[in-house]
Structures are given as C-alpha cells and as structure tokens.
Amino acid sequence: MELKKDKKRIEVIKPFGPSIIKFQMPEELVNEINLYVDKIILDNSKIEKLDHSKSLAGQVTQEFILEIEFMKKIKWAEFLMDAFTQWLKYEYPKRNVKNFNLVRSWVVRQFKNEYNPVHWHGGQISGVGYLKVPNDINKSNKKSHVQTDGKLVLIDGYRSLFSSGIFPIEPKVGDFYMFPNHLMHTVYPFFGTDEERRSISFNADLDPEAKSL
C-alpha cells in the first residue's frame, strides 16, 4: 500500500491481535520539525508555555506540545490522516473516515539513563515517529543477548502459542508507527552516549462510525 502524497510504502504489521502500521516521514518533514524544535528549546518562556510533562508518563528531559500554527503549516493532521486512511482500507475496505481529529501532538527529548514507563494514550489512534537517534544507542555496557537500549516496546495481553505479546521497535530516523491507543507501551533507557533520542507522538479521535472498529 502507498501513501499518496509522498509515494512511501505503508507496511501493515500484525505481531499480535491488533495491527499497527509503519511508514516513512519524508526527509524534508523530519528536517522541518527538527528545525522547529531546535528553535523552541532555546526559548525558555515558550518551553514553559508548551511544557507537557505533567500530562505524560515519561521520565525524560523534556516533553512539549506542538503549536497549532506549526502543525497547520506542515499539514501534520493531513499527513497522519492519509496514513490512517490507507490502514483503514487494508483492515476494513468498506469503511470510511469522515473526521480525523488530531487532539494533540508532542515532542519527547530523551537522553541517557532516561525512560518512559508502561502507559497508554487517549483518543482512538496514537503513533510515534523518530526525529533524532544516537549513532551509538546500542552500545550498552551491559552484556545481554537481548538488546533493548532505547527501544519502544508495544505490549498486548500476554504470551501465547503464536504471539509473544510484545513487539520491540528499534528507533530509526524517519520511521513512523501508528497503533490503536489502548496498546500499552514503554521506552527503555539507553546508556553510554550524550546524544539525544528525539521523537514525535500524537493522539487522535475518529468519527463515531470509525470508533466501532
């Protein structure tokens, strides 16, 4: 399946009950959001105004919401709705979405030793995309056969015959994942680097017909 606007492929993934999708943010979009964030973090008064940490679960350096004017400028809601529409066509070919209400979108700035505990989101649809990822995010001092440093892990129910109940995601710049809001998830800490792991998330409500999906 394809995203019509940027001709990127959408990958439908079903590691457990509900499916999720993966697609690519265009490089120019990633750059534009990063430039916006880089300017915001230099303005203490604006950071204080946009601070979203009290409403989120993250034990991270900084979390702040995107300004409505900026989201309109980059057509963020339209970009996300286009991806969701393709997902819906795959799962329910006869269903249409008349309304995709972007409730909120925010940026998470995570550095070494920080983490995001298990939580879930509001709305009906949520997602996360990656804007910056440390080059050596996997260079942990701890020896383990399972590498978890800096990974997002989606959680659904429990381990069963054909499902582990978890889906680990390695962050890569430009990758974007969309999933039902009720999926619990967590982000592991990473170590050994001073670089920033930067992501963008959102919550969205759907029209009444789509909410029954």
Inside any domain, residue 125: yes
Residue-wise pLDDT tens digits, 104-136: 999 999 999 999 899 888 889 999 999 999 998
Residue-wise pLDDT tens digits, 73-101: 999 999 999 999 999 888 888 787 778 89
Inside any domain, residue 12: no
CATH assignment at residue 185: 2.60.120.620
Inside any domain, residue 83: yes
Question: What is the CA 96 to chain-centroid distance, rounded?
Answer: 23
Inside any domain, residue 154: yes
Highest mean pLDDT among 6-15, 34-43, 98-107, 158-167: 34-43
- The pLDDT, as a whole number, for residue 6 is 44
- Looking at the 3D structure of the chain, how many domains does it have? 1
Inside any domain, residue 4: no
> Residue 81: left (phi > 0), alpha (psi -120 to 50), or beta?
alpha
Inside any domain, residue 124: yes
Cα distance between residue 171 and residue 110, in whole Å: 12
Residue range(s) defining the domain that contains residue 186: 19-207
